Amino acid sequence: MSKQPKDWLKGVLSAYDTVVIGSGLAGMTSANLLAKMGHKVLLAEHHYNMGGMATWFKRKGGHIMDISLHGFPCGMIKTLRKYWSQDISERVIQLKNVRFDNPQFSLNTSFDKIDFTHILRERFGIMKEVIDEFFMTARNMNFYDEMVMTTRDLFEKFFPGRTDVWRFLMEPITYANGSTLDDPALTYGIVFSNFMDKGVFTYQGGTDHLITEMKKELLRNGVDIRTHCMVEKIYVEDKTVQGVRINGQDIACKSVLSNSNLLTTIEQLTGEEHFEPEFIEEVKKVRLNNSSCQVYMGIKKGETVPHVGDLLFSSVADEYCTDKILSKDVTSRTFSFYYPEIRPGTNRYSIVSSTNARYQDWAKLSESQYKKDKHDLEQNTLDALEKYVPGIRKKVDHVEASTPKTFKRYTLHPSGTSFGTKFEGLKISRDLPNQINGLFHAGSVGIIMSGWLGAANYGVIVANETDKFLRQLRPSLVTASA
């Protein structure tokens, strides 16, 4: 007897105010807000889990691996409190020990403005006035500023020729959002300042706890959550959103908020023919951001790892160099050490190594070569880690790698992009509703709207636009204060 395939859309309504495509942090945050504002929201996620890149997986031996919990700015506390709940926000804790180790310098820092100022003075011999002005310039950058200056220009202006300083200031940000010295300085300024405000933070309980709590909150607010549900098409007529097709089934809606990649949303889900040709011309210029490789190392039950730091930016490259950071011949890695405090009561450790990577480098390999290269990546990572955790091979009982292909498979993002698009994507994302009534996009885009904080806040910004749109269609809607 063949088993009846499960109907993941069972009981779905025939129409919604908004269909949110994808349950990344932007998608979930906007779905939550729109539901709280009184709209009927369907949240459709193709994967069996929610969270998008904010995810985790479990392996035999009691291992839990976090994918993107290396750290976020303290602004996340406020975002979680305002758009999720007080309880969720109270779980945010600081990571106090960030380490750099490379041929130019080895140092520890709490990764905030006070400590960076101190290090720039004492260690790198930069004058106090220069440091202060640098911080001020970075802080005052706005996303509507003119973007003539690149990050390279910015560094050249304040720290000419000081590639050691550049590395200190830039390497962590490159890992955080894939930006390079050639991206607009404002993308650097905004993200760097967010971190420098108070340091790097994480979520106690792990990604699984966060996403589980968010799911409860979404259900409480009346969001219709559907996993295993692939949105295949956004229907548009007369430049207005009509509905979507999910798992072959048509569902009407007044608006769509897509957390799917920006280019996928335009080119595949909607179709270029619905947009102005000039707009599509601009869309073609949008560059995707890079992808990632990770190696997940689970520590045996009962084994421990000494406190060698929370985040470790390690590199054997002479100088900071984006090309080298992206290269398949890995010279630079970020290690995240997850101690038992991350999941109190479990007494378990794990270590995740992350590197930025290019999709093409992995996609073109034969199956056997791909396997071999993945294996090599795991082994080289263990070798590199030996320096910091002697005897690591004896402590580890699970090792596994992911590549740009892995990220693509789970998030459907073209080229497995980890951080959406380069800066030009933001304008396109913001312009979607001017092209098609009721079509919105929220999710990693434009460098500044990526990362946990950027994606969640962008979800709020776009939910505001969507709410405005929906209320124009239904002027009588007034929601009692919460």
Partner 1 sequence: MTIEDVRKVILNILADIAPDEDISSIDDNTKLRDQIDLDSMDFLDIVMELRKRFNIEVPEKDYEHLATMAGCVSYLTPLLKDRQLAS
Ligand X SMILES: Cc1cc2nc3c(=O)[nH]c(=O)nc-3n(C[C@H](O)[C@H](O)[C@H](O)COP(=O)(O)OP(=O)(O)OC[C@H]3O[C@@H](n4cnc5c(N)ncnc54)[C@H](O)[C@@H]3O)c2cc1C
Per rule CB under 6 A, is residue 429 in the interface with ligand X?
Answer: no
Strands 15-21 and 41-44, bridge-based pairing: parallel
Q: Which is nearer to partner 1, 65 or 453 (CB)?
A: 453
Please choose, out of 21-29, 112-120, 148-156, 161-169, the segment that lies near ligand X by the rule CB under 6 A. 21-29
Residue 306: count other Cβ atoms within 10 Å of its Cβ.
10
Q: Which is nearer to ligand X, 174 or 418 (CB)?
A: 418
Selection from ligand X, partner 1, none that 123 binds (CB < 5 to 8 A by kind) is: none
- Give the three-state DSSP class for 466: helix
Closest of 457, 50, 474 to residue 228, by C-alpha: 50
Per rule CB under 6 A, is residue 451 in the interface with ligand X?
Answer: yes
Selection from ligand X, partner 1, none that 464 binds (CB < 5 to 8 A by kind) is: partner 1
Side by side, the strands of the sheet bearing 98-101 are 106-109, 98-101, 311-315, 332-338, 350-357, 291-299, 396-402
Q: How many residues bind ligand X (CB under 6 A)?
A: 39
Q: Tokens 């509507």 identify what position?
A: 144
Per rule CB under 6 A, is residue 354 in the interface with ligand X?
Answer: yes
Q: Which is nearer to ligand X, 131 or 357 (CB)?
A: 357
To ligand X, the closest distance from the beta carbon of 46 in angstroms equals 4
Rounded-to-integer distance, Cα 286 and Cα 425, Å: 6
| Two tokens, residue 418 | 């980890």
Residue 262: count other Cβ atoms within 10 Å of its Cβ.
27
Beta strands in 189-247 (DSSP E): 200-203, 224-226, 231-237, 240-246
Selection from ligand X, partner 1, none that 468 binds (CB < 5 to 8 A by kind) is: partner 1
Rounded-to-integer distance, Cα 244 and Cα 230, Å: 10
Q: Which is nearer to ligand X, 149 or 330 (CB)?
A: 330
Per rule CB under 6 A, is residue 22 in the interface with ligand X?
Answer: yes
Residue 125: count other Cβ atoms within 10 Å of its Cβ.
9
Q: Which is nearer to ligand X, 164 or 465 (CB)?
A: 465
Q: Which is nearer to ligand X, 21 or 80 (CB)?
A: 21
Selection from ligand X, partner 1, none that 68 binds (CB < 5 to 8 A by kind) is: ligand X
Q: Which residues pair with 396 in a beta bridge?
A: 299
Closest of 101, 77, 249, 212 to residue 167, by C-alpha: 101
Q: Tokens 């619905």 identify what position?
A: 274
Please choose, out of 156-164, 312-320, 358-366, 446-454, the segment that lies near ligand X by the rule CB under 6 A. 446-454
To ligand X, the closest distance from the beta carbon of 268 in angstroms equals 8
Amino acid at 404: P
User: Residues interacting with ligand X, by CB under 6 A?
Assistant: 21-27, 44-47, 52-54, 67-68, 70-72, 230-231, 259-260, 292, 294, 354, 407, 411-413, 418-419, 443-444, 450-453, 455
